[in-house]
Structures are given as structure tokens and as C-alpha cells.
A and B are shown apart, each in its own frame.
Chain A
Amino acid sequence: MITLLKNGIIYDPAQQKDGVVEDIYIRDGRIISKPAPNETIAQTYDLTGKIVMAGAIDMHSHIGGGKMNIARMMLPEYQNQYQQKQLEEIKNSSDPEVHICTPHCSHHATPSATDTGFRYIEMGYTAAFEPAMLPINARQTHLEMGDTPMIDKGGYAMLGNDDYFLRLLANKADQKTVNDYVAWILNATQAIGIKVVNPGGINAFKFNQRRQNLDENNPYYQVTPRDILQSLSRAVHDLGIAKPLHVHCNNLGVAGNFATTLDTMSASSGLPMHLTHIQFHSYGTEGDKKFSSAAAQIAEALNKNKHITADVGQILFGQTVTASGDSMMQHLNAHHANPKKSVIMDIECDAGCGVVPFKYRDQNYVNALQWAIGLELFLSVEDPWRIFLTTDHPNGAPFTSYPHLIRLLMDKTFRNEAFAKLNLDAQAMSNLNAITREYSLYEIATMTRAGAAKLIGLNDRGHLGVGAAADITVYTDQADREAMFSKPDFVFKNGELVVKNGQVVKVVWGATHTTKPAFDAGVEQDLKQYFDRYQTIQLDNFKISRDEIESDGRSKIISHQINKKDQA
């Protein structure tokens, strides 16, 4: 059965298509080339005048796992407010089929797994990646992602604070041993990338250290964050997995941390690295309040260092919750909690987590400047293939605020009006309204589709070329970009129409994306000994089998290829 999407205006940066009118043909969930005249077209959608892009991919969003469930459990009031709103909408609508959420229903920071899938697909997102999957907690993360409908998902396994890895480094293990361990972790946790959070810092916090600088030794292991970054970025590179090491730098949120961020860019000695939620790491110490924007320095360094990619982690004003693996910095920030509660956890000699609710206010100097810093970064980094649109959901804002963020990037007047409402001292410390750049649709498609797919290594996603999975989003071109990106006309998931006019019309279950580099099976000998002596579960139970993810008949695992040099 062939479906024809006719006459759409295509924005497909992977194929350098910038607003060309073309037809797209779909068969068996894939985009195909124009069929022979004698083949039957079963279904035609006339998309004349409509904007067509691949389904969007969120390369960094906390959608599942321990810390998100803690956030949900700790903050029942968030769900409650959200439900009140739903009930109001049902009551005030004459349409019995009215959907339970409006496209502008943002600032629900802790959606359930079901809501997560629905809200994403309603915005035209067809995949989201959980960036902080603790290996020891990976089973829960996959359970939650497995119960998240509509979208594809995947996880980055967190390493670099686990005692096993730090022991390897401290004992001067060779790179091959590290590589085998990293590959084993990717396989065992069904992950697609490796992340490091506050390298060494989460571990150091368990030894009562309160800050961790890039070249400062871990109090127990005598290894530095720089050592950790070097070893892990090398491993990721040697293994040939696409996704560069995902780095949450040391000193998150600290005034003056831009210096750490700049130093971190050099820590991989030129190997690819991705610096995540870089907004939280671009702070200077200038001005009366000793807190200033260092976006210019960071953007300049990003423009220069082609081996570095980054996502922004934009903050937007309102109530949210910050959920991070960075127990060290979250403990430091817990006194800012609003409402006043927080959870800090040390976890299984593996890592940790910190969950701190937060309310960003536009009249607060620091918050207002954080908002401006994020936008300065977006607008000053030249290459949209190397910068990604995130709010670090839910840490900067819930992902449902992406359409608003897109409008801020695409509409200078809208942006400057918002800027003019900020805390005045913050306005005085930002050059944001002097920046005239407006993102184009092509650039938005790059950072939210083609670039994200390329970064993670999803070769058949994020583009509309022949052979791609038919994850496709269709919008009506509107001057109000927030309205446009909030409510697509159509979303197709694997060729099936699943959203019409911003509402889900069919429930589907996405795949789990993974990568499975080869490793020396001998790595398990030492791991087994380590688990038997020091851990509290059996090594076999640590590993997540394919069956566990696929046996419910909904999810399936897609394993992405390795760009392999030979390992021997």
C-alpha cells in the first residue's frame, strides 16, 4: 500500500532541501522513490502550501528512570494542577471528543509516561532520548520508556562516577580494558550513547567533597575529571559509536563556570564531545551581582572548536523541577528549592541523583539572565548542525514549551518584547536585543531533525530521503511560529497517520534505539568478581536482555551500526 504526500514544501537539511515543493511516497513505513505508473496509490494527502519536515528528535530530555519518578512522586501538586486544567477544558467544551490537553499546556514538568508520549507526538516530535540512564537503574528507565507511547526512545548510559570505572583509571588500566567495559555497558544497558555527569564529582560527593574542578583529584582515586573525559571520549571514539561522549560539565550553575566549560572543550584532545545544557555552564562573575553572561566566550569557542557539539538547555519562566544525576551540585542548590523540598540520593556505587523543584522568574536577576544567556548562545553559535534545541526537560522548562522557544529564535520582535519585560539589571547585562539573527525554517529543521539524527547516529531518521523511516510532520505555515509548531496538521509515525490537527488519532508504540559495539567477552571475568564482592546484585541480573524490552509485543529494539575501525 502506497501513501502519497503531495505537493508539500519540503525542509530537509540532510538533503539540502530548503523549501522545495515535492511529493513523498511511503510504503511499509518507509519513504520510497516515485513508484511506477502502474502501481496503485492507496491514499493521497494534498499538502499544497503545507510545510513538511521529518519528525523532530529530542536528543536530550529526561523522560524516564529513577529521578523522574522521584520527581513525580514528590510533586503530586503538579499533576493535580494539570488535571484541574484538563477537567476545565472538558467542561468548557461542547465537543465530546475534545482533547485533554491544549497545545499551549506547557509547564507540566512531570508528565506520566503516557502523557510524555502524547505531548511529544502532538508537537511533531517522533523520538526522545533519555540522557542520564544510570546503568544500575537502566531496567526501570526502559520500563518507563516502554510504557511511553507514540515515540521512539533511547538512553545514554552514565559512566565516570562509578567505582568500577574509577578503579580502572586509578589502576592505570589500558585503554582497551576501558573500551571493553564501555562497550559491555552499552550492551548490558541497551543504551545508544555514553554520558558523564560532573565527571568524578558525584563520586567525590560521597567522600564529602563539595565541588569538583576539572584538574582536581578525586579525594579517593587520585584521578581528575580531565582523566575521566579523556578516557571515556577515547573509548567512545575507538568503539566507533556515532554519539560523541555526552558531557555534563563540572560546576553546573556556578558563577564563573564558563572557564571550566572552555577547559573541558580541550579535555578530549580533539576527539568529538557533546557538551550538554551548555546554558547552565556559561556563567561569568562580572557586575555588581557577580553573575554575568559568558555566552559570547562560549559561543566563540564553539564556533572555533569543530569537534564540539552542544545543546542549550534553555530556561523558560515558570514552575518546573530540576532532576539531575549531579547529586553534588543539586545538594548545593537545594536551598533554592521552590517549593521547599528536594531529594538527594547516592546510588549503588554507580552514581547519584538530585531532584530540586524550581520556579524561574523573569523578575529575578539570575533567572532573567539565564534566559538571556540561553538565547544568546542559540543566536551566536553559527552552525545549526552543532547546536541543539533543548530545555534539558524538565530542568530548564518542560519540553512542551519548545514551540514557544522556537518562536523566540525565529521572531526578533517577539524576542525583544519578552526581553523588555525582564528584570532591568539583567537587561543591562545582556546584549540579546542587539542580536538581529532570526532562525530560518531550514535551520530549525537542522537543529531539531537532521542534526540530532546525525549526532546520535540514527541514519534512517531525521530526514525525508528514500529509505528513511516515514516519521513525518506537516505544519501550516503561520507567522506565529509558536502556534505553528504547537499543532501540526499531520504527524506520520512509520508511515501511519497518528496525529491530525494536533490531536492523537491512533496510539502506536515506538522503538528503542541502541548500539551494540563488540567487546572482549573476557571483560566479564573481572566484572563478575567485582559484582560478587562489592555490589548487591548478580552480574547476570544487571544485564537487560532484548526479550525484556520486546516481549510485551509493543517495543522493538533497533540496533544502530558501528562506524568501525577494526578493534583487534
Chain B
Amino acid sequence: MVLSNQFGISAGYGKIKMHMKNSNQNASKISATCPACGLLCDDILVSTSPQLSAEKACTKGVAFFQRANINENINASIAGQPCNLDAAINKVVEILSGSSQPLIAGLGTEVNGARSLMRLAQKINASLDHMHSESGVHHTRALQNGGWITTTLAEVKNRADLILAIGTDISSTHPRFFERLVENSDSLFRAEAPEVVYLGSEKNSALNHASLHTLPSMISALNALLQGKKLINSEIGGMSLEALQSLAAKLKNAKYAVIVWSAGALQMPHAELLIQSITQLIAKLNETTRAAGLPLNSGDGDTSVNNTSTWLYGYPTRLRFMNGIPDYNTARYATTALLNDCDALLWVSCFNPHLPPSTALPTIVIGHPAMQFEKTPDVFIPVGVPGFDTEGLMFRMDSSITLPLKKLRNSTLPSLSAVIAMIETKLAAGVSA
């Protein structure tokens, strides 16, 4: 009998280094986690030599690894002129020291990067906003206004017998959703794949005629029907009353209906009210059967940043530090508003080469080495892509799972955390000098 009383290094650094050695020698594949969307698939087999391959990755995942797989010898630059890292850090410190109201935005990072940025923000009394929070705050507002009943991916995979996708086809933002969670042949409790119904999206379905703006009236009608109310219109939001009644019946008869929506796709003012209408529907269904919501995230570490911010400082994004104390306000501290209010911008986008918003403010960009600027920032510091150049920790869209991101190639690019640490050290030295 083999007795083991301790795990060897499993997800930690050691194993990756070992794999790296192997990969240099015989191009072995590394089992990796893909941070390209909120599904956080961790069954990807990546090889970086002799050429990049990413087995099992979806198109979005492949694009992520390809974008990351560029020449890592990208220099930092000041006003577009290449410089060494030290000089770039000095310039960053100069800009931040001269700023009384800095904005740290983008926040495209994982848990460790978020930890670093939050601590820096507290020290320099910065405001913080994520590039996707314009949609993300609809989720937090719905959560704060009424709460919800939700589920996670493994429950969908094993339990869901009906999936209702509202305002999203799911697969264009979360490509492997159906492959992994709907069309799976192995399931603990269900014999066949669940029925999938779309409302207000482009997928083929009997119910696809709704467009986004008719969703609120459709969901309200469904709520009314579930509460036993009679509707007098024969058509609501482009759907016939019969179709709505049939859908209401399906939901009631399902053993475990999962209702999926995406704040990112619900591009309308006060989308949180529509989300609350959906969560009300779910609450009603749970009086007699089981049903649960599955809100889709937007990506670029939004779920990781929200969670980290919340345990460190008590709030998700958006917030501003004043005297080191966070002030939380989802309306006031939006990037678009803050660009008129702040006096310097630090833009962070590590997973994708997303560009900073157009602004006349002194601009520091730290992020993906493949960034190509339309307007040259004052400073650009390329950093390693988490899950490719550097390690990291990432929250999945349903927040219940956190997975390690691996370093997949030898890279000289520093991590975001390392760069922030250098900035903090120099800022502190500047103050004492």
C-alpha cells in the first residue's frame, strides 16, 4: 500500500518549472487554465515549442494564447521612446507623485495583480474602476437590491434539465459552455441533454423573435403568468401569449431550470431592473420546484477583481480611496465620469491589448505586450500575460471556483505585481527623500 501524507507540488510553481524543462527538451504539453473567458477551462493542453498549440481551446482561447505568444523582448517606453524598466518606473512615480486624484482603470488582471493595485490605490488615494464594470455593476446592483438564487457550472452540467438564455446566445462570449455543460454525455443525474430556449438572442429557436428592448415586457409577462395572472394581450414583446404560456409551463415543470443572462449583453439603461425581474422569476419558480440563475461575466478578470476588492476593502468596484478609506459608489466612480474628475490615468490591461480610453490626462499604461497605441501614452510598461508569461489566480464566472494560472513559457516580462511593487518602493523613497 502506498501511503502518502502530503501532496507533492501540484498546482504550484515547481511542477511548472519541471514541465518547462520538459517542454524545452521534447515539447511536452502543459495542462493549463485558459483565462480568455469566465468559464476558465482548465483542460487546455498547451505547447509553446517548436510552435504554439493549445488543444481543446476554443477560438477565443486560441486567440488569447496566440496574442500572448509574441516576442517578449518588448521594451518599456516613455512617450513612445524605448527605455529601460527603471526609467519607466521613475516616470510613473513622477506622474503619480504629481497627481492628487489618480484613476486606476482597466484593471485587466487576476487576484495577485488586483491585490497589488488595490494596495497602491489605498496608498495614493486613487479611484478604481474595471473596464467592464459598466455592465458588471448591473449585477452587483441587482445583488444589492434584492439578492438572487444562483448556481454554478457543475450543477448545470449534472442537473439542469432546461436552460433559458435571456438576451445572450452564451456561446459567443463563453464558447465552450454547450460543449462542456450541455452536450456532455456524462452526467450524474440527467439522461439526456437539457432543452435550451433563447429569449432575445440570435440563436435558432422558436422563441428568437424577441429583440433586446422587448425583453423587459416579456419577462414581466412570464412573471405575471407564473403568479397565475390572466393576460389580455395576445402578443407581448413580439411573442404570442401561447408561446409565453408554453414557456412558463416549461419552467414550472422543469426539475432544475437554469436561467442564464449576461449583463454585458443587456445594453440598456438600468439593466439591473431587468435582471431583478429575472431573479424574481427564479424566486417564484423556487416556491414549487428548483431553478437557479447563472449570470455571465464579461471577462478580463472582472470577477477576480470584484472578489479581491471585496475581501480586502469591503466593496466590489467602483470605489475611491479618501484618506486611505474606500468610498463605494457604482454611479459616481465610473471611468467615463472620472476622466473629467481625475488628474492622471493608470490603465491596466494584462490579458488583452485593450487600449485606454481617449483622454488628455497624463496616461500610464501597464499591460499586454501586444498593445499598439493610437495615442502614445506618457509611459508604457509591458508586463507578462497571466496564465502565459506569469502565474496567477483567477476566479471563474460563478465565483465559487478559483484556479491557478500557470507560467507557460520562459519570459523576461515582469509580472504586474512586480512592477507595482517597484513603483511603491520608489514612491515611498520619494516621500522620505
Chain A residues at the B interface, C-beta cutoff of 8 Å: 64, 66, 68-70, 72-76, 79-80, 83, 86-87, 110-115, 134, 136-137, 139-140, 143-144, 147, 163, 187-188, 205-208, 220, 331, 337, 340-350, 355, 516-522, 533-538, 540-541, 543-548, 551, 567-568
Contacts and interface: CB of A to CB of B under 8 A. Distances in A.
Given A83-B325, A137-B401, A206 B159 contact: yes
Contacts of B115: 147
A86 B327 CA distance: 13
Given A75-B144, A341-B146, A541-B404, 19 more contacts: A66-B400, A69-B307, A69-B311, A73-B140, A73-B316, A74-B147, A112-B310, A113-B312, A134-B400, A139-B393, A343-B150, A518-B3, A519-B5, A534-B154, A537-B403, A541-B42, A544-B11, A545-B9, A568-B1
A543 B10 contact: yes
Of B13, B159, B255, B314, which is in contact with the most chain A CB atoms at under 10 Å from its CB?
B314
A567 B1 CA distance: 11
A518 B326 CA distance: 45
Contacts of B31: 538, 540
Interface of B: 1-7, 9-14, 31, 33, 42-43, 111, 115, 140, 143-155, 157-159, 180-181, 186-189, 255-256, 286, 289-290, 292, 306-308, 310-316, 325-328, 393, 395, 399-404
A513 to B, nearest CB: 15
Given A73-B140, A147-B115, A545 B7 contact: yes
Contacts of A543: 7, 10-11
Contacts of A206: 155, 159, 256, 290
Given A518-B5, A536-B180, A537-B401, A548 B154 contact: no
A348 B159 CA distance: 10
A187 B189 contact: no
Contact of B2 (A75, A205, A521, A538): A521
B392 to A, nearest CB: 12
B407 to A, nearest CB: 13
A346 B144 CA distance: 19
Given A74-B144, A112-B312, A551 B155 contact: no
A536 B398 CA distance: 12
Given A114-B312, A348-B401, A548-B404, A143 B111 contact: yes
A112 B2 contact: no
Classify the secondary structure of B's interface with A. Answer: mixed
Contacts of B152: 345-348
B269 to A, nearest CB: 22
Nearest to A137: B400
B145 to A, nearest CB: 7
A325 to B, nearest CB: 12
Across the A-B interface, the 4 shortest Cβ-Cβ residue pairs: A547-B12, A341-B147, A79-B314, A533-B186
B400 A347 contact: yes
Given A139-B393, A547-B13, A521 B311 contact: no
A318 B338 CA distance: 37
Contacts of B42: 537-538, 541
B12 A516 contact: no
Of B144, B151, B402, which is in contact with the most chain A CB atoms at under 10 Å from its CB?
B402
Contacts of A355: 147
A148 to B, nearest CB: 9
Nearest to B308: A143
A83 B319 CA distance: 14
B380 to A, nearest CB: 28
A111 B7 CA distance: 33
B185 to A, nearest CB: 9
Contacts of B148: 343-344
A535 B111 contact: no
Of B4, B151, B181, which is in contact with the most chain A CB atoms at under 10 Å from its CB?
B4
Contacts of A143: 111, 308, 311, 393, 402
Contact of B144 (A140, A341, A348, A516): A341
A348 B153 contact: yes
Nearest to B2: A521
B402 A348 contact: no
Contact of B312 (A80, A147, A342, A551): A147
Contacts of B186: 533-534
A40 B78 CA distance: 57
B418 to A, nearest CB: 13
A76 B2 contact: no
A64 B2 CA distance: 35
B315 A76 contact: yes
Contacts of B314: 72, 76, 79, 110-112, 115
A547 B17 CA distance: 14
B155 A349 contact: yes
A541 B11 contact: yes
A136 B396 CA distance: 12
Nearest to B258: A346
B14 A547 contact: yes
Contact of B400 (A136, A337, A341, A344): A136
Contacts of A337: 147
Of A80, A140, A343, which is in contact with the most chain B CB atoms at under 10 Å from its CB?
A140
